[in-house]
Structure 1
Amino acid sequence: MSGPSSNETGGLYDLTIIGGGPAGMYAAFYAGMRDMKVKLIEGKNELGGFLHHYAEKMIWDVGGIPPLRCDGLIERLAEQARTFEPVIVFGQRVDGLETLPGGAYRLRTDTGESHDTKTILVAVGRGITEMTRLNIQGADRYELTNLHYTVQNPESFRDKRVLISGGGNSAVDWANELADVAKQVIVVHRREEFGAMERSVSSMLQVADVRTPYELHGLHGAGDVIGAVSIAHIESGDKEMIEVDAVVVSHGYTRSYGDLLEWGLDIGKHGIHVSDQTATNLPGIFAAGDCASYSNKVKLIAGAFTDAVLAVNSAMSYIDAEAPNMAYVSSHNEKFREMNKQLLHASKAVEMQ
């Protein structure tokens, strides 16, 4: 089961990964450690998945990696994913599944192409996502100016009065980050409790003007620029007008699994139901990352890596019941012997300069 070259797209693959986010990228790497013939299909034209929504955010909670921007993490994961030269197919969205004689699968995509595989790893993250837009009449006319649904460049908010609406991780994280550049950060949330990590909430309470339980009631401005907002108390209905220079709405996302819903997968409110070994209810099909749902789910990037390892090992066992339960760790894995020599040689060459 040697890995395919980068231009080899046909034939029967051991594992086909649907989705190029953290789980899919790490699965491509780990499956290479297991000497599997791997293909990864990504609907967009780049790896990274949902992480691109937070490209400029700092990531602190990946083990062994100092804090780095999310776009930097994407680059490192993409480089690692290509270690064993899996075939990576961009710009195709899987929309059909067919069972072949003998139990293999044929995946069909919206471009009309097909991909044959022994096993499938669904790593589609949050699926097809759409930001939850503000349900206030006329809000759309401000979207090209100072009504934002994500923060692409924190520096653009320097010395501004910024109101953030939302109570999840994204809203709280942006409040903490923008506090360093904005003149004032006001956070409006419908509930007293926030759905973000405790430490982040504690930091936000120190640097932002937090209003709970309130919700955005109206946007007020001249032309297409918001100059003020009105907020309403959830219980009393009392309203207050606040002058602002920018509004960031972080009300989460709606998600859909599109054509995956037609496969017969057991899909619930929180994703595809899988076993503790990431197996779905369909034989030879596994799920990992944000789309996988099980009782002890860890909703971190690090958790996506664990899901990926479990899924690849399960796929390997499905193909060959006599195969080892897992790959040898990298420090003892023969696949890295030559690579280690090259890295050592390059390191010594730098030292001699």
Structure 2
Amino acid sequence: MINHEELFDVTIIGGGPAGCYSAFYSGMREMKTKIIDFQPNLGGKVHVYPEKMIWDVGAVTPVTGEQLIKQMVQQALTFDPEVVLNEKIIRIEKTADTFILTAESGKQHFSKTVILAVGGGILKPIKLDIEGADRFEVTNLHYVVQSLSKFKNKDVVICGGGNSAIDWAVSIAPVVKSLHIVHRRDKFDCHEAQLSLLNEYPHEKHVNTTIKKFVSTTDNTKIRSVILENKLTGKESAIEIDDVIISYGFERELSFIKESPLQIELVDEFYVKGSSKAQSSIEGLFAAGDILSFDGKVHLILGAFADAANAVNQAKMYLDPNSPAKARVSSHNSRFEEKNKELLQHLFVNS
């Protein structure tokens, strides 16, 4: 017997842009809402690039990832959803009318509907396959770029040739002392515009090349230099460095979806097959953001917001077929009347 207080109208798995906006919008629709995230903080993958400037969110002037997270989370908490962090969901199943979400901790969460907003899944950086490399992760071997200032006036090597690697290279190029980019192929797999931006700054590219080994400092705590090997010629070369950045991409962990007894229909093993209204192949189960696949999908943060609104609206109608198809716009929504009065009063007092 499920305690009524433990049963939610909607539970959102994932706390990135899609999850945060789902939590906000479900509050607009007066749904009892819970949001669960594996990470210690809401914000999702945006935490990977806190200092990157984000231009492509409608009506939001360019902001850093860190500022966007702050605004997304503030909006998500508007209607006081229950927030559960550091919780990894490992199983999703359904009784006649209730979804049961089992966490790695053993705790179970109960919900009438579920919105999957897990992006690409639990992301783990693909690590460099060099024996003993992990000991440098606490000093000068990095798998994400959290702060550009950390690399100011440093000699830096970036390994990788995809969009993330070149994005990071473009970001740190104006502040570093020297920049080397190491790529195992002969061509970079990234947007041409990013390569054009990179070419505006001094740097050296090493193609058909990999890192063969590290040479450490005398106390064995830091990398002092890297030994490169050209895979075509076998020639080795050494570069003295201050920091190494590895950008080989991320492993995507989605086992709780792939192995669910619900047999959720997927596309290419990594995406939930859905509709433009965010419906999945399972009644009552919806998806939003990068995890959702349908014809015409917009893979931008603004697309995640649209998915979230559609998912919430479909969840609301699943629970109550007689409910309106969508929430009233905020300028006419009764849920904002008191909040608007407070904001206007604050505006007049400080004007």
Fold-level similarity (TM above 0.5) = yes
Q: What CA distance in whole angstroms lies between the structure 2 residues aligned with 1:203 and 1:330?
A: 40
**Residue 311 (structure 1) aligned with residue 311 (structure 2):** yes
Q: 1:17–1:24: 8 Å Cα contact kept in structure 2?
A: yes
Match of 2:248 in 1: 251
Q: CA deviation at 1:198?
A: 4.0
In the alignment, which residue of structure 2 is the partner of 1:3?
A: none
Structure 2 CA distance for aligned equivalents of residues 238 and 327 of structure 1: 64
Amino acid at match of 1:28: A
Equivalent position amino acid for 1:228 in 2? S
How far the C-alpha of 1:252 sits from its partner, in A, is 0.5
Asked if structure 2 preserves the Cα contact closer than 8 Å seen for 1:277 and 1:310, the reply is yes
The Cα RMSD (Å) is 2.4
2:115 aligned counterpart, secondary structure: strand
2:103 aligned partner, one-letter code = T
Match of 1:269 in 2: 269
Deviates more, 1:316-325 or 1:178-187: 316-325
Tell me the secondary structure at the aligned position of residue 10 of structure 1. Answer: helix
SS in 1 for 2:251: strand
| 2:276/2:297 contact within 8 Å kept | no
- What amino acid does structure 2 have at the position aligned with 1:256? E
Segment of structure 1 superposing worse, 23-32 or 298-307: 298-307
Counterpart of 2:298? 298
1:199 aligned onto 2:193: yes
| Structure 1 residue 108, shift from structure 2 partner | 2.8
Paired residue for 2:208, among 208, 214, 222? 214
Which structure 2 residues correspond to residues 130-169 of structure 1 after superposition, within 5 A?
A: 130-169=124-163
User: Equivalents in 1 of 2:151, 2:321: separation in Å?
Assistant: 56
Q: Which sections of structure 2, spanning at least 5 residues, go unmatched?
A: none
Q: Residues 194 and 311 of structure 1: is their aligned pair in 2 closer, same or farther, counting only changes over 3 Å?
A: farther
Cα distance in 2 for partners of 1:226, 1:186 equals: 15
Alignment of 1:1-353 (within 5 A): 10-101=5-96, 103-211=97-205, 213-223=207-217, 224=220, 225-263=222-260, 264-267=263-266, 268-351=268-351
| Alignment deviations for residues 36-74 of structure 1 (CA, whole Å, 9 cap, x no partner) | 221112233321122222223332222222222222211
Between the aligned residues of both structures, percent identity stands at 41
Greater shift after overlay, 246-255 or 185-194? 185-194
Per the TM alignment, residue 338 of structure 1 is displaced from its structure 2 partner at its CA by: 2.3
Shift in Å, 1:308: 0.9
3-state SS in 1 of match to 2:5: coil
Paired residue type of 2:248? H
- Secondary structure at the counterpart of residue 88 of structure 1: strand
Worse-matched range after superposition: 8-17 or 103-112: 8-17
After superposition, the C-alpha distances for 1:122-141 in whole angstroms (9 at most, x for unaligned) are 11222222111112344334
Deviations 1:226-285 (A, max 9, x none): 333343445555544433222111110111113232212223333222222222221111
Which shifted more, 137-146 or 79-88? 137-146
1:112 CA drift (Å): 3.5
- Label 1:312 to 1:161 Cα distance change in 2 as closer, same or farther (>3 A): same
Q: Return closer, same or farther for 1:341/1:253 CA change in 2, 3 Å cut-off.
A: same
Comparing 81-90 with 286-295, greater Cα deviation is found at 286-295
CA pair 208-305 structure 1, distance change in 2 beyond 3 A: farther
Check the 8 A contact 1:186/1:208 in 2, yes or no: no
TM-score normalised to the size of structure 2?
Answer: 0.88
Q: Where do 5+ consecutive residues of structure 1 fail to align?
A: 1-7
Residues 207 and 19 (structure 1), Cα distance of their counterparts in 2 relative to 1, 3 Å cut: same
Residue identity opposite 1:278 in structure 2: A
Asked if 1 retains the 8 angstrom alpha-carbon contact of 2:287 and 2:311, the reply is yes
Do 2:136 and 2:223's aligned partners in 1 also have CA atoms closer than 8 Å?
yes
Which amino acid counterpart does residue 342 of structure 2 have in structure 1?
A: Q
**CA separation of 1:293 and 1:221: change in aligned 2, threshold 3 A:** same
TM-score normalised to the size of structure 1? Answer: 0.88
- CA displacement, residues 195-245 of structure 1 (integer Å, 9 cap, x when unaligned): 444433321122142526333232342443333334344555554443322
Letter in 1 for 2:40: N
CA contact (8 A) 2:212 2:228 kept: yes
Q: Counterpart of 1:272 in structure 2: which amino acid? A: V
- Once the two structures are overlaid, the 10-residue window that deviates more, 301-310 or 320-329, is 320-329
